[in-house]
């Protein structure tokens, strides 16, 4: 299908992240979210990626369906764990042959899980910067990379994080998408350090609307992201009130975006968690409406392939 043309002027640019569904039931819900959010004509969407052949297959299937059945500009995440360079390159060629022109290039978590010491795979790409160089050697892909306003959990300090981001940029990365964060002052300080380091690529804030504050506390801890006390207090007493929780979450995400706009940011990357209702509520608060009435034209929900 043809790509979207998001040239009509709007206040902000934005992209969405999805994760690949692994069951027929999950695929049905994911596809409903895709249909709803495609109507907003994002600049692109990305699909997350797991290490190992069995976890890569759902990503390929999701990316292929997005390319075949929607007008979305689609990027696949790509990691280097559990694979040699030749194996990663083979995956890249298979995605390119399927029509993928964009990647989100990541090192990936250590095979032992979060907290385990990372060791590059023998004969593999050693980190995200090396992967960017490898991708550019294959084709002139559009490449996004990761950035961490609150420091990657394994980094010694912010300076080490920024040095890695500079290596990614020097190797050809087109933009950085940040880990989600909730303190805009922290992001602004980080961005200042990034620019002082001579890194000129766009650094796009990653925004996480809070689907479930209890689950987020656990997830954020593993990612090294901080949930501020003031934000946790907004949810106090409403953890079991789904309607109130939803409204607070939409308010918070919209408020964060509006404040970042005041600071000069114009591009945002939203972590959708494969759900559309909360994103739609955030956009309503931002004054952004769908551009395609009634969802995705010509992309009707079908039974997932088995």
Distance CA 67, CA 224 (A): 33
Examine the residue annotation and report whether 17 is marked as an active-site residue of this protein.
yes
Report yes or no on 115 lying in a domain: yes
The domain that holds 128 is classified in CATH as: 3.20.20.220
142 inside domain: yes
The yes-or-no verdict on residue 173 having pLDDT over 80 is: yes
pLDDT at 9 over 70: no
- The answer to whether the CB of 134 falls within 8 A of the CB of 125 is yes
Tell me if 3 is assigned to some domain.
Answer: no
6 lies in some domain: no
Above 70 in pLDDT, residue 239? yes
Region 211-232: mean pLDDT is: 87
Residue 292 lies in a domain: no
Does the pLDDT of residue 285 top 90, yes or no?
yes
Q: Which of 3, 9, 17, 284 is catalytic?
A: 17
Query: Does 154 score more than 90 pLDDT?
Result: no
Cα atoms in the 13 Å half-sphere on the side-chain side of 256 = 26
Q: What is residue 40's predicted lDDT score, i.e. its pLDDT?
A: 97
Provide the domain limits for residue 95: 13-286
In a domain, 298, yes or no: no
C-beta neighbour count of 233 within 10 angstroms: 9
| Percent of the chain whose predicted confidence (pLDDT) is above 70 | 88
* 39-61 average pLDDT score: 85
Residue 180 lies in a domain: yes
Q: Which neighbouring-strand residues pair with 289? A: none
Is 2 within a domain?
no
Q: How many independent structural domains does the chain possess?
A: 1
Q: Which of 74-78, 147-151, 248-252, 262-266 has the lowest mean pLDDT?
A: 147-151
Q: What is the pLDDT of residue 224?
A: 77
């Amino acid at each position: 299908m043809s790509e979207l043309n998001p040239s009509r002027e709007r206040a902000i640019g934005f992209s969405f992240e999805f994760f690949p569904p692994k069951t027929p039931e999950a695929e049905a819900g994911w596809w409903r979210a895709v249909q709803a959010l495609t109507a907003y004509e994002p600049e692109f969407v990305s699909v997350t990626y797991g290490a190992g052949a069995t976890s890569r297959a759902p990503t390929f299937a999701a990316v292929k369906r997005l390319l075949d059945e929607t007008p979305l500009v689609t990027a696949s995440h790509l990691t280097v764990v559990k694979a040699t360079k030749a194996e990663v390159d083979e995956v890249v060629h298979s995605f390119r042959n399927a029509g993928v022109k964009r990647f989100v290039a990541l090192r990936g978590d250590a095979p032992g899980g979060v907290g385990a010491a990372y060791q590059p795979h023998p004969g593999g790409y050693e980190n995200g910067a090396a992967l960017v160089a490898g991708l550019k050697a294959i084709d002139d892909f559009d490449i996004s990379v990761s950035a961490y306003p609150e420091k990657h959990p394994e980094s010694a300090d912010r300076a080490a994080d920024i040095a890695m981001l500079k290596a990614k940029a020097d190797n050809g990365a087109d933009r950085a998408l940040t880990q989600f964060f909730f303190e805009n002052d922290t992001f602004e300080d980080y961005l200042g350090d990034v620019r002082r380091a001579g890194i000129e690529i766009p650094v796009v804030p990653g925004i996480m609307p809070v689907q479930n504050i209890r689950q987020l506390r656990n997830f954020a801890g593993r990612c090294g992201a901080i949930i501020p006390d003031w934000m946790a207090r907004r949810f106090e007493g409403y953890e079991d009130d789904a309607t109130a929780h939803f409204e607070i979450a939409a308010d918070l995400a919209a408020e964060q975006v509006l404040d970042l706009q005041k600071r000069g940011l114009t591009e945002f990357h939203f972590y959708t968690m494969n759900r559309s209702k909360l994103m739609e509520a955030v956009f309503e608060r931002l004054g952004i409406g769908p551009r395609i009435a009634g969802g995705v034209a010509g992309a009707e929900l079908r039974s997932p392939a088995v």
